[in-house]
A = this chain, B = another copy of it.
Amino acid sequence: MGKKISFSSDYTKGAHPKILQRMTETNFEQIVGYGTDDYCKSAADKIKKACDAPDADVFFLVGGTQTNQTIMDMLLEPYEGVVAAQTGHVAAHEAGAIEFSGHKVLTLPSIPQGKTCSSDDGKKAPIYNDQIGKVKAEDLKKLLVNFYDDDNHEHMVFPGAVYISHPTEYGTLYSKAELEELSGICKEYKIPLFLDGARLGYGLMSKRTDVTLQDIASLVDVFYIGGTKVGALFGEAVVFPKGVPTAHPIPVIKQHGALLAKGWLLGLQFDTLFTDNLYMDISKNAIDMAQALRDKLTDKGYQLFIDSPTNQQFIVMENDRLKEFAQRVGYGFWEKFDDNHTVIRLATDWATTSDDIDELMKYL
């Protein structure tokens, strides 16, 4: 419970104070369970309005892996798997939650070969541009074409849905054109497109995005608006813009152990986040702080690992310096770069302050 400052992730703090305040205020109201309450209804209405998706079905679940697993089970036939980037959360970091539910994750390459950025301003260019971590339309198309071309495809796992994260696990973003292209392919093959928005706010508030919440709601079949990493204690708001495809979503959720008894705790949080633009405002804060951090880092000559337009910034650090740094600052180990360097992640969040950045820079 380090006193030291931490930029290790965007889920190291509690919730926006307004959320705790409302929880405290409503603590002794007696409310019906399992998400059938008015707070959930109100939150869903606000989300549907923000998405410009009046026919949407909205559900509130507790965490990301749970959400990915439960929703995927609603989308997929037993003989179908989900297509994802090899670095997608469902492929790499959910302990096999998708497979536990009986479905294969069909992976596409998402780490470009070789350095992908070039620089023309005299500063060090990041090593990877903002394509890292993403599903490429051409790869998806190729997978689908090859699958159906294969005479033996009935002996293989059918691609039954496509999973993308936005921002990705690497902080990168799809452009609107890219989303449209993926969406078009999915429509052509009649498979749903699922967007994991665990960090959605940070994607929407990026200064380098042309994608709005309404765009997402019109282009994908299901997505979720992350709360855990964006101002809530916990919670993910799942949105099916055109309606949920299963006749009975509640038993599916219950069966996965994902139906929170006091469901109103989720409704209350999202109702708060979607009142007076709070979700967007606090997301913007993280982006502003990340931009400030990035500027200071490049000014100091740090090598960026990825040209990330969102709240996660990645730098390459010498192992010797890292040892010292680790005494003062919490960071996220990302990967070994070479024998003498390590890639680390520094994440800002909805509550990061300029003082935090200043404090951090003391050790950089």
A24 interface residue (CB < 8 Å to B) = yes
CB distance from A64 to the nearest CB of B (A): 7
A57 interface residue (CB < 8 Å to B) = no
A254 near B30: Cβ-Cβ < 8 Å:
no
Query: Would you give the 0/1 interface string for A69-95, flagging 1 where the beta carbon is closer than 8 Å to chain B?
Result: 110010001110100000000001111
A174 interface residue (CB < 8 Å to B) = no
Across the two chains, which residue of chain B brings its CB closest to A74?
A: B78
A20 interface residue (CB < 8 Å to B) = yes
Provide the residues of chain B in CB contact with A79, threshold 8 Å.
Answer: 95-96, 248, 251-252, 255
Provide the residues of chain B in CB contact with A229, threshold 8 Å.
Answer: 261
B351 near A28: Cβ-Cβ < 8 Å:
yes
Please pick, from B152, B254, B333, the residue contacting A155 in the complex, using a CB distance under 8 A: B254
Q: Is the interface of A mostly helix, strand, loop or mixed?
A: loop
Provide the residues of chain B in CB contact with A274, threshold 8 Å.
Answer: none
A252 near B78: Cβ-Cβ < 8 Å:
yes
A33 near B15: Cβ-Cβ < 8 Å:
no
Provide the residues of chain B in CB contact with A2, threshold 8 Å.
Answer: 30
B261 near A258: Cβ-Cβ < 8 Å:
no
B94 near A254: Cβ-Cβ < 8 Å:
yes
List residues of A (263-277) whose CB comes within 8 Å of B's CBs. Answer: 265
A261 near B248: Cβ-Cβ < 8 Å:
no
List residues of A (82-117) whose CB comes within 8 Å of B's CBs. Answer: 92-97, 99-100, 102-105
B31 near A256: Cβ-Cβ < 8 Å:
no
CB distance from A199 to the nearest CB of B (A): 12
